[in-house]
A and B are shown apart, each in its own frame.
Chain A
Amino acid sequence: MQFQHRHILGIKQFSAEELNFILETSASFKEINTRDIKKVPTLRGKTIINLFFEASTRTRTSFEIAGKRLSADTVNISGSSSSVVKGETLEDTARNIEAMHPNIIVMRHNASGAAAYLAERMGCSVINAGDGTHEHPSQALLDAFTIRQHKGKISGLKVAIVGDITHSRVVRSNIDCLNKLGAEVWISGPKTMLPPGIERLGCKVAANLTEALTEADVVMMLRIQHERQGKTLIPSLREYSRYFGLNDKNLKLAKPDAIVMHPGPMNRGVEISSVVADGPQNVILDQVENGVAVRMALLYLVSGGEKLAEN
């Protein structure tokens, strides 16, 4: 099929067919990462700017490596959490960067909608690497890729996502992505972390952790973001880990072959016990590994994709 999108702003823009196509393309890139010489000339001469207004190590590095392995020139720019802090509007920042003629801008920003805002104003491609609490499409795609790798399919699986749903962009993208690919998504967390109307995004809200975990094929734990929350959402991390943390006991509620995922970075002993985080069911490092392949596919596809055959 022909990939028609110039920007990757969110999962919402894709059909199930397109999502599958991205995953297939990712699979073809994965092999490159295991070669001795991990580089193909696909994006030679292209410039990619990683514009990160929010701190991120994992996603930024993953995009940077993805770009470099495709032979693109990658440049990292990190800004303060909001462009206005510097007295410059996001639009002005964008214009200045555009004047340097990049081919792709990968942006993370703390404002929901920032990627779409940028895309409307830019001639180059924009990839959303996380906008506020809205979307994080490359994470959802690498999660789907990892699930497929371990389960052979996505359709018909029960996926439980547990944690701070309100403040998670990963959740919003994952619900949409997994839904379109035929999974049944359940979410769970303390009520202070469940936003109203979340079920309208296409998931089921579990009454408690037990209901979410029971017979689950995939358990995805979210990071409790101490630094972001007001103090009123949970009484203590201790209590959180007791009622909403994943440990070797409650993991037994899930199917015996269930996989455990985490978008990272993990708070060991809070949302996930070390026994589980390091246990045989965890696929957390596979997620990180697959992230590079998925991001290579995204960079390649928004660039037009016509040169793949040469590799």
Chain B
Amino acid sequence: MNCILIKNGRVIDPANNIDKICDLRIENGKIAELGNNLSDGGADVIDASGLLVTPGLIDMHVHLRDPGLEYKEDIISGTAAAAAGGVTSLACMPNTRPILDNLAVCRYIITKAQEQGTANVFPIGSITQGLKGEILSEMGELKEGGCVAFSDDGLPVTSSELMRRALEYSHTFDMPIISHAEDLSLVGNGVMNEGAVSTELGLSGIPWVAEDAMTARDIMLAELTGGHMHMAHVSTRGSVDLVRQAKARGIRVTCEAAPHHFTLTDEAVRGYNTNAKMNPPLRSQADVDAVRAGLADGTIDAIATDHAPHHFDEKNVEFAIALNGIVGLETMLPLTLKLVEDKVLELNRAIALMSYQPARVLSIDRGTLSPGAVADVVIIDPTLTWEVVPQKLHSKSKNTPFGGWIMKGGAVKTLLAGKVVFER
């Protein structure tokens, strides 16, 4: 029998309201028991004194670029980056080549991840065939194939009628629709947040209302249809408020926020830093504060990275033509722990936002240390300080605005079904 005993760690399992120093025993890849002074009876012992022992983190918004764009990332490098960041489960977006709108691509991703990956990969199918915004994808079959949600991520569903039908149809299969809320007519040729910084740099701006207007529409459609609407990467004061009000009215809406949106403002774009170019763009301090408040009061359900690897050549160009997005899997944990240090979040809630809560949004059986659950566990040293050196990231792409930052906190051991897949 394969047995691991993690001793004397501070075990945090928000799903079960557990936060105490104790031992955790893993048997045959499953959580066996939690308790004090568990005997090691032949188990491999890991001393976790002074460390946190939590469910493996879950990132519900990742671009693995595989199949089709493997020069940026593939399932192996992407899940390696996940493991290094303490992430044991991730949901990957469908904008691959070919698009994940059919069973073949879905099976390819799941199989490759199971055979060669170091994290659980849960595919997200596209809402519309070919991401064209015209005809719904075969959601029933995609669910059967292992998809956990649907999204045309990166592209808003511009037709309100089609979004309504998507919510109705996915409701039939009890699956969430993930919305990338953006009114493209308001975005125009904008390349960064509209404000004093865009004015000064002479770059076309994207107004906050481009996000808010679409968020409002999608929430109303969720109310109309009763479907589950999940708002991806909320970044504005307005959209956080809209979700807060919608939840108070009992509308079935959830949302996520990305670490860069609660850490950086549009000031990071200065110097035409293409590693600060993303969609939605980095916003103002007031928006950052609103996202933090939304995380604190429970309006925001999950922290997700929108991990978007791009090749150096795609960022080493004029700002206006650089591709959107940054890698995030390896910096999510310390950036979220910073919120704990800043007293925005309790540690328990921070862990919940990165594990139990996204699992609940996607209805996946992960994110808990309940006995019998799959032993996806991460051991975190909250005091570990390390410098972000882009070239040392496990992701194939190095596009991070946090290069040179000193981070506090990180995974020291990541266990996937009881097997160590990353060790610092």
Would you call B200 and A197 a contact (CB within 8 A)?
Answer: yes
A116 to B201, CA, bound (A): 12
Other-chain residue from A109, A133, A166 in contact with B318 (beta carbon distance below 8 A): A109
Contacts of A91 in B (CB 8 A): 316-317
A38 to B357, CA, bound (A): 76
Q: Does A215 contact B (CB under 8 A)?
A: no
Would you call A112 and B321 a contact (CB within 8 A)?
Answer: no
Q: How does the 8 Å CB contact mask read for A84-117 relative to B, with 1 for contact and 0 for none?
A: 1000011100000000000000000101111011
Would you call A197 and B199 a contact (CB within 8 A)?
Answer: yes
Shortest distance in angstroms between A228's beta carbon and chain B's nearest beta carbon?
11
Shortest distance in angstroms between A252's beta carbon and chain B's nearest beta carbon?
32
Shortest distance in angstroms between B197's beta carbon and chain A's nearest beta carbon?
7
A179 to B281, CA, bound (A): 31
Would you call A195 and B313 a contact (CB within 8 A)?
Answer: no
Nearest B residue to A199 via CB reads B196
A132 to B272, CA, bound (A): 12
A130 to B80, CA, bound (A): 44
Q: How does the 8 Å CB contact mask read for A186-199 relative to B, with 1 for contact and 0 for none?
A: 00000000011110
Would you call B318 and A82 a contact (CB within 8 A)?
Answer: yes
Q: Does A200 contact B (CB under 8 A)?
A: yes
Other-chain residue from A89, A134, A200 in contact with B317 (beta carbon distance below 8 A): A89
Nearest B residue to A133 via CB reads B202
Contacts of B201 in A (CB 8 A): 112-113, 134
Q: How does the 8 Å CB contact mask read for B214-235 relative to A, with 1 for contact and 0 for none?
A: 0000000000000000000000
Q: Does B305 contact A (CB under 8 A)?
A: no
Q: Does B205 contact A (CB under 8 A)?
A: yes
Contacts of B272 in A (CB 8 A): 112-113, 116-117
Other-chain residue from A82, A117, A134, A196 in contact with B202 (beta carbon distance below 8 A): A134
Shortest distance in angstroms between A9's beta carbon and chain B's nearest beta carbon?
11
Other-chain residue from A90, A114, A135, A198 in contact with B199 (beta carbon distance below 8 A): A198
A134 to B270, CA, bound (A): 12
Q: Does A271 contact B (CB under 8 A)?
A: no
A113 to B271, CA, bound (A): 8
A201 to B201, CA, bound (A): 11
Q: How does the 8 Å CB contact mask read for B311-327 relative to A, with 1 for contact and 0 for none?
A: 00100111111000000
Q: Does A164 contact B (CB under 8 A)?
A: no
Q: Does B198 contact A (CB under 8 A)?
A: yes
Q: Does B195 contact A (CB under 8 A)?
A: yes
Q: Does A280 contact B (CB under 8 A)?
A: no
Other-chain residue from B197, B319, B320 in contact with A197 (beta carbon distance below 8 A): B197
Q: Does A184 contact B (CB under 8 A)?
A: no
A116 to B319, CA, bound (A): 11
Contacts of A223 in B (CB 8 A): none
Which A residues between 59 and 97 are near B, CB-CB below 8 angstroms? 82, 84, 89-91
Q: Does B194 contact A (CB under 8 A)?
A: yes
Interchain residue pairs with CB less than 8 A apart (27): A82-B318, A82-B321, A90-B317, A91-B316, A111-B319, A111-B320, A111-B321, A112-B272, A113-B271, A113-B318, A113-B319, A114-B318, A116-B271, A116-B272, A133-B202, A134-B201, A134-B202, A135-B202, A172-B200, A195-B198, A195-B205, A196-B196, A196-B199, A197-B197, A197-B199, A198-B196, A200-B196
Q: Which residues of B contact A (CB under 8 A)?
A: 188, 194-205, 271-272, 313, 316-321
